[in-house]
């Protein structure tokens, strides 16, 4: 493995975890995070989400929602998603609290506001190492079907990056090739640790 990857969405539940699951299965060094203030999962209505603190174990969420309404949460895919998540890691983690997790080479976000939050956080950190970090955004709707597609695309993109000695020399070509082949726009920025 050449690089260390972070997958980031809002709640560290769906999009980032699908990508984390796929990259981990491929043997890449990967972690995942959310940038929101809390973890939110759909509830019985849009006005009644299930809200958890970051760090609440996926198993606890799974057990709680299975007790509340097993049919609803099975039908909307939340129980299956949580089952996948608890097989990847213990609990959702917040990007802004990850400084102790070490440095990453590539961060992939799945929503523009998450991309902006990651860049803002990196810019607010002390940049003592002067090590470059590539932050990319692949816009993915927050539903199970799109997360599966987005996870696969993130995995392909990271494999392409992994195949290069340094991403700094090839990123423009990698992005152009990805956009042409997938017909999806990528936004990226370079920051520093």
The three-state DSSP-derived secondary structure of the chain is CCCEEEEEECCCCCHHHHHHHHHHHCCCEEEEEECCCCEEECCCCCCCCEEECCCCCHHHHHHHHHHHCHHHHHHCCHHHHHHHHHCCCCCCCEHHHCHHHCCCCEEEECCHHHHHHHHHHHHHCCCCCCCEEEEEEECCCCCHHHHHHHHHHHHHHHHHHHCCCCHHHCHHHHHHHHHHHHCCCEEEEEEEC
Residue 187: pLDDT over 70: yes
The tens digit of pLDDT for each residue in 1-54 reads 689 999 999 999 999 999 999 999 999 999 999 999 999 999 999 999 999 999
pLDDT at 1: 65
Q: What average pLDDT does this structure show over 156-179? A: 94
pLDDT of 130 above 90: no
Ordered structural domains, the chain, with CATH: 2-35+93-190 (3.40.50.2300), 37-86 (no CATH)
């Amino acid at each position: 493995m050449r690089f260390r990857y972070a997958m980031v969405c809002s709640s560290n539940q769906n999009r980032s975890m699908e990508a984390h699951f796929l990259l981990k299965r491929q043997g890449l060094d990967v972690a995942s995070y959310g940038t929101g203030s809390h973890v939110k999962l759909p509830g019985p209505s849009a006005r009644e989400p299930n809200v958890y603190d970051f760090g609440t174990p996926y198993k606890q969420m799974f057990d709680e929602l299975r007790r509340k309404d097993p049919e609803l949460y099975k039908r909307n895919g939340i129980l299956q998603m949580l089952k996948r998540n608890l097989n990847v890691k213990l609990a959702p983690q917040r990007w802004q609290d990850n400084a102790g997790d070490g440095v990453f080479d590539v961060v992939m976000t799945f929503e523009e506001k998450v991309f902006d939050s990651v860049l803002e956080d990196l810019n607010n950190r002390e940049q003592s190492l002067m090590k470059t970090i590539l932050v990319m955004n692949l816009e993915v709707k927050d539903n199970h079907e799109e997360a599966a597609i987005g996870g696969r695309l993130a995995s392909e993109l990271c494999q392409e990056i992994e195949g290069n000695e340094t991403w700094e020399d090839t990123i423009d070509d990698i992005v152009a090739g990805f956009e042409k082949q997938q017909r999806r726009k990528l936004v990226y920025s370079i920051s520093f640790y």
